[in-house]
C-alpha cells in the first residue's frame, strides 16, 4: 500500500477548509493537525484544531528540524510536523494538508510526487464578502488577510490543479475526483 500527499491551498475565505474537511470525512482520510503559534479562536481546542504552541516552542521545533514544512502566515507560524506526514504515508494512507502557498511549495520540494491543489473564489469581491461574513476576525485581520490573498493568488500557476469554488458541492466533487484519480491505491 502506498499513500500520496495532497496539498490544498488558497486564500483564506476561499472555502478550502470547508471543502477539505468534507472530503476527508467522505473519503475517510484522517485529519492531519498542524502546529501554530497563533492564539486559539473561540471554540478551538488544542490537539483537535491545531497544536497551539508559543512562538518560542515553535522556534525550538524549527531548530530541531521537526517540521516537514512551516511558514509565517498573517504574522504567526504555522507548520506540519514531519512525524504527522511520515506516519500517514508509512501506513499507506493518503494525507491532505490544508496549508498556505509557501508551505505548498516546500511540500512539493520535499516530495516531488505531492499533488498541489489551489482553491479560490471566482473573483476578489466574492472573497472579501466571505471574509467579512465569517465574523470571526477583526477589521485589521480581515485587511491583512485580503492583502495576503492577493499574494497567495499569484502562486496559482505553481499548482497542479485549480478548483474555483462557486458552488460548495461542485468544489467537493472536484477535489474527490482529483484524489481518486491521483491516488496510488484505487478504491
Ligand atoms: P487560520 O488561522 O485561519 O486557521 O489559518 C490561516 C492560514 O494558515 C490558512 O491559509 C491555512 O491554510 C494556513 N495553515 C494552516 N496550517 C498550516 C500549516 O501547517 N502550514 C502552513 N504552511 N500553513 C498552514
**Tens of pLDDT, residues 47-56:** 999 999 999 9
CA distance 186 to 183: 6
152 lines ligand 1 (CB under 6 A): no
CA distance 87 to 176: 22
Mean pLDDT value of segment 121-136: 86
Q: Any idea what DSSP says for residue 29? A: P
Q: Write out the DSSP string of 57-74.
A: HHHHHHHTT-EEEEEEET
Quote the mean pLDDT of the chain. 93
- Angle formed by the axes of helices 124-134 and 139-153, nearest 10°: 150
Quick check: 175 and 19 in contact, CB under 8 A? yes
Q: What confidence score (pLDDT) does residue 13 get?
A: 86
Q: Which CATH class for the 5-185 domain?
A: alpha beta
Summarize the annotated binding site for ATP as residue ranges: 10-17
Which atom of ligand 1 is closest in space to residue 16's alpha carbon? 12
The residue that leads in pLDDT, 74 or 181, is 181
Quick check: 2 and 185 in contact, CB under 8 A? yes
Could you read off the pLDDT of 71-118 as tens digits, one per residue? 998 889 999 999 999 999 999 999 999 999 999 999 999 999 999 999
Cα-based distances in Å from 119 to 17, 59, 168: 10, 29, 11
What is the CA(79)–ligand 1 centre distance, in A? 8
Looking up cell 476561499 gives 14
Boundaries of every domain in the chain:
5-185
Give the bridge partners for 97, in sequence order.
7
Indicate if the pLDDT at residue 134 is higher than 80: no
Alpha carbon nearest to ligand 1 atom 24, residue: 99
Indicate if the pLDDT at residue 38 is higher than 90: yes
Quick check: 142 and 183 in contact, CB under 8 A? no
14 lines ligand 1 (CB under 6 A): no
Indicate if the pLDDT at residue 135 is higher than 80: no
**Start-to-end Cα distance in the chain:** 12
| Banded model confidence at residue 185, pLDDT cuts 50, 70, 90 | confident
Quick check: 1 and 92 in contact, CB under 8 A? yes
Highest mean pLDDT among 134-138, 144-148, 159-163: 159-163
100 lines ligand 1 (CB under 6 A): yes
Which three-class secondary structure state does DSSP give residue 70? strand
Does this model's pTM top 0.75? My answer is yes
CA distance 133 to 12: 12
Indicate if the pLDDT at residue 183 is higher than 80: yes
Mean pLDDT value of segment 179-187: 88
Alpha carbon nearest to ligand 1 atom 19, residue: 79
Amino acid at each position: 500500500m502506498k499513500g500520496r500527499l495532497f496539498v490544498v491551498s488558497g486564500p483564506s475565505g476561499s472555502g478550502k477548509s470547508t471543502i477539505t474537511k468534507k472530503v476527508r470525512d467522505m473519503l475517510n482520510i484522517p485529519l492531519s493537525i498542524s502546529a501554530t503559534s497563533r492564539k486559539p479562536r473561540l471554540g478551538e481546542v488544542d490537539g483537535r484544531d491545531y497544536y497551539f504552541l508559543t512562538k518560542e516552542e515553535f522556534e525550538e521545533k524549527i531548530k530541531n528540524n521537526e517540521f516537514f514544512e512551516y511558514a509565517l502566515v498573517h504574522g504567526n507560524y504555522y507548520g506540519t510536523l514531519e512525524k504527522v506526514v511520515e506516519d500517514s504515508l508509512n501506513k499507506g494512507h493518503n494525507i491532505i494538508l490544508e496549508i498556505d502557498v509557501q508551505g505548498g511549495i516546500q511540500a512539493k520540494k520535499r516530495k516531488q510526487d505531492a499533488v498541489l491543489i489551489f482553491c479560490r473564489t471566482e473573483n476578489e469581491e466574492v472573497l472579501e464578502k466571505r471574509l467579512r461574513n465569517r465574523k470571526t476576525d477583526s477589521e485589521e485581520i480581515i485587511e491583512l488577510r485580503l492583502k495576503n490573498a492577493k499574494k497567495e493568488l499569484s502562486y496559482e500557476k505553481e499548482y497542479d490543479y485549480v478548483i474555483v469554488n462557486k458552488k460548495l458541492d461542485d468544489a467537493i466533487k472536484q477535489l474527490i475526483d482529483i484524489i481518486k484519480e491521483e491516488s496510488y491505491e484505487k478504491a
